[in-house]
Amino acid sequence: MKFDLSLPGDLAGALGPDLLLMGGAMLLLLWAAWRPETDEHQRQVGIASIGLCVLVMAAVGFYAFRGYTAGNGVIAVDNFRWVADEIFLIATIGTIAMSLDYNRREGILAAESHVLILLATSGMMILAAARDLMIVFLGIELMSIAIYVLVGINRGRERSAEGAIKYFLLGAFSTAFLLYGIALVYGATGATNFAQIAGNIQRLGLETSGLLLVGLALLVVGFGFKVAAAPFHMWAPDVYEGAPTPITAYMAAAVKAAAFAAFFRLWLEAFPTLLTTWHDPLWWLAAITMVVGNLVALAQRDIKRLLAYSSIAHAGYILVAMVVGTPLGSSAFMFYLFAYTMATLGAFAVIVAMGAAGEDRMGVEEYAGLWNVRPGLAVAMAVFMLALLGFPIFGGIGFFAKWYVLQAALQTPAPQTRLAIILVLTSVVSAGYYLYVVMVMFMKPRASTAVLPARTTRWTGAVVWASAAVILVFGLFPDVLVSFTKRSTLDVRREPPPVVTTR
């Protein structure tokens, strides 16, 4: 079935999974606000939110199975969107599951926190579907405003408030860059639709337009802030450290994935004829991000800050797939997003399981001798660290994710050899902090005064073991995931775009 996006009914049908999530979130918001704040109520709303996400995942799978498509319009109906949506929803389920136990421990009774996660996810789904700059902006704002509140949802913790205000101020600053870039691109091309922008650039010969190039530069800066790419990353460590741990996991996995999905589609669909123009800036952005993220992570001894800089490094790895700009790069990009999301969710779930009220025990040294007291958590954390490192066998799909990106970088008409070398060398550097965590857990004696970690609660434990199982199973049988992500490649050779002469 092919949707005609010029018809309101078909447009609503093409947005079916998104509208289902938004409508369900609105109903849950009414339920959350209707009753007094209690731990039991927030858990009920959280479990209902997980159920809604499962239902939306089924709807996304149905759309993908039926092979729905659409012509050029404000949204995309393709496998790239469906695979991205499934990744967002998996991250959302994991985040809410962790939050059920975390909120009880920290005394966060606001059931609306789970609904805010759903609303942020609906913004992410809009971003993955966007084929118009205005839709990109609406998706980013819907996602960002909900995240601003979630970062500061723990009102009894000063660091949470500090992280929220920093994220709000710098997020608003980056949005200004993004919006100004959108305005300049529209001024240069007379269009906001990706296909129309690409058509007008080619038809009007705008490849050297100063207005367009400045707009592109501002878009790179805006998205650079959103994905925490160096040198636009300075907000990430403080915000990740201050936010509630499940929300940190959500930001490191889902928020980054959504921003990259929109960034990737925009660059390949709206500016395919400007490859030589935007290639070098993105090349340097990827290289600097990989180097800065990994080198600074070596000095971190707070586990959340360590993973914050780790996420910055992984943003650089993902940017390598963007620099390639080919169908193989597109599928490598999606494979990497899935692998990174599962490893990040699992690692933060272990942090939640190990934490105590107030989040005072966040040092890496707190994990000393974990193998002797909680061997299951130690093994799971080792799997996640090795997956993020890209270690063969025990790293599961983490190894194949980096290998896939390297293949994409080297198997292009213009091989990105130097960028691939930087990726390999910085991955070797990352062993210094990933393996340090593993060494502390298995080889360092536990202090006699160290507090024994509590038994892993049901929901958090489910996230830990499900993430570890997925990483190991797909590490042994990666072909299934490879074939799935290959079907999600962006096809920039769509039907000819309509001519727009708006001036």
Tens of pLDDT, residues 86-95: 999 999 999 9
**Continuous segment of H or E residues that includes residue 54:** helix 39-66
Residue 304 has pLDDT above 70, yes or no: yes
pLDDT band (50, 70, 90) for residue 411: confident
Name the band, by pLDDT with cuts 50, 70 and 90, for residue 502. very low
Query: Residue 393 has what pLDDT?
Result: 73
**Structure confidence at residue 82 as a pLDDT band (50, 70, 90):** very high
Please write the tens of the pLDDT for every residue from 161-188: 888 898 998 888 889 999 999 999 999 9
Residue 359 confidence (pLDDT): 67
Q: Which amino acid is at 5?
A: L
Flag the least confident range among 152-161, 189-198, 200-209: 152-161
Taking only the tens place, the pLDDT of each residue in 256-287 is 999 999 998 998 888 888 877 888 888 999 99
> Both tokens of residue 163?
């992280």
Q: How confident is the model at residue 109 (pLDDT cuts 50, 70, 90)?
A: confident
Q: What percent of the chain has pLDDT over 70?
A: 94
The whole-number pLDDT of residue 181 equals 94
**pLDDT in the model for residue 262:** 92
pLDDT of residue 501: 43
pLDDT beyond 50 at 499: no
Instruction: Write down the pLDDT at residue 394.
Output: 67
The pLDDT assigned to 358 comes to: 66
For position 503, what pLDDT does the model report? 38
Domain edges within the chain: 2-486
Mean pLDDT of the chain: 87
Is the bond preceding 392 in cis, omega lying within 30 degrees of 0? no
**Chain segment 205-226, per-residue pLDDT in tens:** 888 888 999 999 999 999 999 8
In this prediction, residue 217 carries a pLDDT of 92
Q: Average pLDDT of 314-332?
A: 84
Residues 6+ apart with CB under 8 A from 145: none
Kindly indicate the confidence band of residue 154, based on its pLDDT and cuts at 50, 70 and 90: confident
**Mean pLDDT, residues 417-424 taken together:** 91
Q: Model pTM?
A: 0.92
pLDDT, average across residues 94-100 = 94
Alpha carbon distance 494, 272 (integer Å): 12
The model's confidence at residue 492, banded by pLDDT at 50, 70 and 90, is very low
Whole-number Å distance between alpha carbons of 141 and 139: 5
Count of other CB atoms within 10 angstroms of residue 87: 23
**CA nearest neighbour of 133 among 75, 208, 83:** 75
Chain centroid to CA 364: how far? 24
Is the pLDDT at 477 greater than 90, yes or no? no
pLDDT digits (tens, 9 = 90+) for 27-45: 999 999 888 888 899 999 9
pLDDT score at 498: 45
DSSP letters spanning 387-454: HHHT-TTTTTHHHHHHHHHHHHHHSSSS--HHHHHHHHHHHHHHHHHHHHHHHHHHHSPPPTTPPPPP
- Share of residues in the chain with pLDDT > 90 (%): 51
Find the length of the chain.
Answer: 503
Give the helix/strand (H/E) hosting 70.
strand 69-70
Mean pLDDT in residue range 293-322: 91
